[in-house]
Amino acid sequence: MLIWVNGTFGVGKTHTVAELHRRLPGSLVIDPEQIGYGLQRLVPAEYRPDFQDFTSWRTGVVEVLDLILHEHDGHVLVPMTVTDLRYFEETVGGLRALGHDVHHVALLADPPTIIRRLAHRGLGGGRLADAVGLRGLALRREAWALERLVPNLERLGHPDFAEHLATDHLTVSQAAEQIAASCGVDLEADGTGRLLRTARRAVTTLQHVRRA
């Protein structure tokens, strides 16, 4: 099965997929952003479009995932924002048309929740960041994501993007568990403590930023 976790930037896709991967032995995480970044690097910065506008990105995502799904016995996990219904049909719909079992879920949250999460993934959020004045700086670094927050949430709320999962009051573990339950997949028990979970998620954030 391919589990595609959609959602606007900062809603928690990367962390949720990392949790699924940790608790689903034999699963693979495939990030289609890497195909897009590769295409963008071929184009001078002043001419770069959104990489999803490249037909080659959309067809490449389907081609790569089709190959992996044929070769890999375990679950394949994809954290990827797609809010254009045409592109959604070309990618998720294209994989389904090839006969693959694709479970799609769009993570949702209210804008204040996502803004708080964006601040946390920047230069640090929470009380410490507020105390030393870093919250504003963190959010300035996330200006691109903030500009797209409300339009993306409106698009992802469309019935064609169902299944929807509201995450405002869910931990990462709870979100992963609800996705797994909706897929009929059993996760391994989460036996880690809060401190280790926090450290692990900080590492996941850092790795994602470096890849980007």
Query: Average per-residue pLDDT in the chain?
Result: 88
- Chain segment 98-129, per-residue pLDDT in tens: 999 999 999 999 999 999 888 877 554 445 55
- CA-CA distance, 81 to 92, in Å (whole number)? 12
| Helical segments of the chain, H only | 13-23, 33-40, 55-71, 85-97, 111-121, 126-132, 134-140, 143-156, 172-183, 194-211
What does the block give as tokens for 130? 């507020």
> What pLDDT is recorded for position 140?
75
pTM value?
Answer: 0.86
C-alpha distances out from residue 83 to 17, 98, 156, 158, 162, Å: 18, 21, 6, 10, 12
The number of folded domains in the chain is: 1
> What pLDDT is recorded for position 209?
45
Print the domain residue range for 38: 2-211
CATH number for the domain harbouring residue 66 = 3.40.50.300
Residues in the chain, overall count: 212
What does the block give as tokens for 172? 């990462």
Task: Identify whether the C-beta of residue 156 lies closer than 8 Å to the C-beta of residue 92.
Answer: no
- Chain segment 139-197, per-residue pLDDT in tens: 777 888 999 999 999 999 999 999 999 999 999 999 999 999 999 999 999 877 666 55
Closest CA to 79 of 170, 158, 9: 9
Measure the CA angle with vertex 175, ends 173 and 180; round to 5°. 95
